[in-house]
Amino acid sequence: MGESPASARTSERAVDRLLLAIQVQLDALVGAPDTVASLRRQLDASAVALLDAALRAPISYRDGLFIQLAWGLEEPGFDHTLKGGGARSTAKRFAIGLKERHIPAVADAYQNIGKNSPNLARGNVSAFDDLLRWMNTAPQGEREMLLTLLAATVALTARPVDPMPSLARADLTFVNVVGLLDALLAIPSGGAHEQFAVAAFVEALIDEFALGGVGGLGVRTKNINASDASAGTAADVQVMRGNKIEEAFEVSASDWRGKVTQAIQAARNSDLPRVHILAYVDSLAGLAKALESTTTDVTVIDIRVFLRSLVALMKKPAREVALRLLYDHIERKQPEVARVNAYVALLRSHALTA
């Protein structure tokens, strides 16, 4: 059964309340430590001790505390030890909001702390259970203070990532976008820039020519530090039609020769007749010999030429989509904050921002 209209409204208000509380702390992040210290002094010491212990548990419990607090503030008489209606959809909305603010989150907190049961005080984390019971008797003012303390505490865990700026679409000419990509690829990144640029521009081009995804085509790329096997992917970048792999790209930040064996194996694993290697290509000498023992059609293309060809085929709106997708990949699929901020700085230095 889905959410009732009343639960859906409460869920929306609860998530709005939570994200506003966190955003207030993020907007005044320099003062968050003082906020934390002040509220810890004002709140009941037993509640603070329980919060500290609960926050040492997996972050599903942290997010559960957030949602239960907000739900109780929106719905008088709410039993905090029980899930609200539509709790899991609420958790998913909240997780999206946290990730947009560069705060670690799980996709569905209740999948871990309340699966198959409305009761949340299940004896797995005693401090979490006791804090939920405390909420049932605490005055509204103290629960609001606890929510602010939790918001300020969590705001301090946000990654200091520069947001994606607005782009000046009129300036997204071929020469300007290619200039940006050349500068980005010149920065050593362990292959992150190469892989994510390919994924972003292939996806944006497919989206433009397939009229927003008609035909079921999509692009999948893995986290930069994950192997193909651990990520469950056949290659660094894949073009998908549903769950079927249509094209596979192995992407290298160095010479193509080190990718041939891996590319052939990727094609075999996915029953593909061909596979693509995108790397830095000075010559194709030796390619024919490397392919003597396989029937797989292996293409080898210089990654700069490949990306320039994609940019040339795109109109400016699609180039804007690609640059935004590239930001998303760099921000979400590799751990270095400096790489994200360097990309934003390049967008600005190449005069592509509004």
Q: Are 43 and 146 in contact (CB under 8 A)?
A: yes
Strands 274-280 and 297-302: parallel
Question: Residue 204: what are its φ and ψ, rounded to 5°?
Answer: -65, -40
SS3 119: strand
The values of phi and psi at residue 235, to 5°, are -155, 180
Average confidence (pLDDT) over 197-204: 96
- Local structure of 341: helix, strand or coil: helix
Nearest to 278 by CA among 291, 263, 294, 261: 263
* Count of Cβ atoms closer than 10 Å to residue 287 Cβ: 16
Contact indicator for 266, 282 with CB cutoff of 8 Å = no
pLDDT band at 235 (very low <50, low <70, confident <90, very high): confident
What pTM did the predictor assign? 0.67
| pLDDT cut 90: percent of the chain above it | 70
Q: Is 94 exposed, middle or buried (0-12, 13-18, 19+ CB in 10 A)?
A: buried
Mean pLDDT calculated for residue range 34-50: 95
3-state secondary structure of 255: strand
Q: What backbone torsions phi and psi does residue 240 show, to the nearest 5 degrees? A: -115, 145
Give domain limits for the chain. 5-155, 169-349
Identify the residue whose tokens are 């040492």. Answer: 56
* CA nearest to 114, candidates 138, 81, 92, 136: 81
* Per-residue confidence (pLDDT) for residue 4, from 0 to 100: 78
- How would residue 230 be classed by pLDDT, with cut points 50, 70 and 90? very low
Task: Note the pLDDT of residue 1.
Answer: 44
**H runs (alpha helix) in the chain:** 5-27, 32-42, 45-55, 59-74, 87-100, 109-113, 126-137, 140-155, 174-185, 192-209, 228-231, 260-269, 287-290, 303-313, 316-332, 337-349
Is pLDDT of 215 > 70? no
d(C-alpha 55, C-alpha 50), whole Å: 9
pLDDT value, residue 49: 97
Q: What is the pLDDT of residues 294-330, one digit of tens each?
A: 999 999 999 999 999 999 999 999 999 999 999 999 9
More confident residue, 333 or 73: 73
CA 316, 320, 323, 329 torsion-angle sign? negative
Give the separation between CA 151 and CA 30, rounded to whole angstroms: 14
pLDDT one-digit tens code per residue, 154-183: 999 888 888 899 999 999 999 999 999 999
